[in-house]
Amino acid sequence: MFKTVTINTNGFKQRISIKRESISNRGIWTAKKRYILNVIDNEGVRYSKPKLKITGIEAIKSSTPFACRVAFKKLFNILINENEEATQKFIANFKNEFYNLSAEEKAFPRGVTNVVKYVDKKKIFKEGTPMNSRAAILYNYMLKKTNTTNKYQEIGNGEKIKYIYLNPRNPLRQNVIGFFDVLPQEFNLHQYIDNELQFEKTFLKPANAILHAIGWEAEQTSSLDDFFS
């Protein structure tokens, strides 16, 4: 069993103390201070079953939808303990689950600092408006358009919101819409949610940042050898 080690430097007061943090049998690094470790011993505590230590990985931050954060933790276990084929199968299965989630479950959680600043009475919002501010402004615009300002609260500066991507065929003719906890049915936008883009942004892109670090792909790819086999 390892213990804390103090080094004698012959000084008046000891200044150097070394403490072991963890022992892992597997790990994935995507960048400095961004890694996933399969820890078998942490500060002298030996685990009967290894535990994941996740540091600096953006995929599990609060700005990621909760359903995706749960899926990422399952994915990380597969990455550490299984193989590329199992990883691809999990991603394919979760993609099907993701498509069936509600708008509220797969939307981005975000804070929005400025709303009023970017409002344009003629064009709805000003050119160069950040995505989350644009989503909030469009939500307020739709409240007025559908006469639901008495039913739903408008989004103001400093609010916590969600936003989700829309496909180009929607009646709003914009690629995003924001909301608080519920996307109002009165907007008639649920059937225009861009599931493909939403999945790519919330799950696939962050997953690929990790997969590419170990040379794996999220989906099976065909080669010429496969074609002629």
**139 or 57: which leads in pLDDT:** 139
Q: What is the CATH number of the domain that holds 168?
A: 3.40.1820.10
Q: Where are the beta strands (DSSP E) in the chain?
A: 5-6, 17-18, 22-31, 34-42, 45-55, 108-112, 119-120, 124-125, 159-165, 176-179
- What is the pLDDT confidence band of residue 223, given thresholds at 50, 70 and 90? low
Distance CA 181, CA 177 (A): 13
Domain that holds residue 142: 105-194
List, for residues 202-213, the tens digit of each pLDDT value.
999 999 999 999
Q: Let me know: does 59 contact 73? Beta carbons within 8 Å.
A: no
Residue 5: per-residue pLDDT: 57
Q: 16, 9 in Cβ contact below 8 A?
A: yes
- 3 state DSSP class of 72: helix
Q: Is the pLDDT of residue 227 over 60?
A: no
Query: Coil, strand, or helix at residue 204?
Result: helix
53 pLDDT higher than 80: yes
Q: In angstroms, rounded to a whole number, what is the distance separating the alpha carbons of residues 201 and 114?
A: 23
- State what percent of residues in the chain have pLDDT above 70: 89
In the chain, what percentage of residues exceed pLDDT 90? 72
Q: Tell me if 203 is assigned to some domain.
A: no
Q: Is the residue at 207 inside a domain?
A: no
Q: Say yes or no: 187 and 112 in one domain.
A: yes
Q: Are 22 and 45 in contact (CB under 8 A)?
A: no
Which of 46-60, 80-94, 107-121 bottoms out in mean pLDDT, i.e. has the lowest? 46-60
Per the domain annotation, does 176 fall within a domain? yes
pLDDT in tens, 157-191: 999 999 999 998 999 999 999 999 999 999 999 99
Encode pLDDT of 89-106 as tens digits.
999 999 999 999 999 999
- How confident is the model at residue 228, as a pLDDT? 55
More reliable by pLDDT, 225 or 94: 94
DSSP state of 115: S
Q: Are residues 50 and 109 in the same domain?
A: no
Q: Which of 56, 72, 93 is the last residue of a domain?
A: 56
66 domain-assigned: no
Distance of CA 105 to the CA centre of its chain: 12
DSSP-assigned beta bridge partners for residue 29: 35
The reply to whether 128 falls in a domain is yes
DSSP letter at 154? P
Q: Is residue 110 part of a domain?
A: yes
Structural domain total, the chain = 2
Q: What is the mean pLDDT of residues 215-219?
A: 95
Q: What does the alpha-carbon distance between residue 86 and residue 91 come to, in Å, rounded to a whole number?
A: 9
Distance CA(1)–CA(4), nearest Å, equals 10
**Is 205 within a domain?**
no
Cβ atoms 53, 39 nearer than 8 A? yes
pLDDT tens per residue across span 28-39: 999 988 999 999
What is the DSSP secondary structure assignment for residue 153, as one 8-state letter?
A: P
76 within domain boundaries: no
Q: State residue 14's pLDDT score.
A: 61
Q: How far is C-alpha 5 from the chain's CA centre?
A: 40
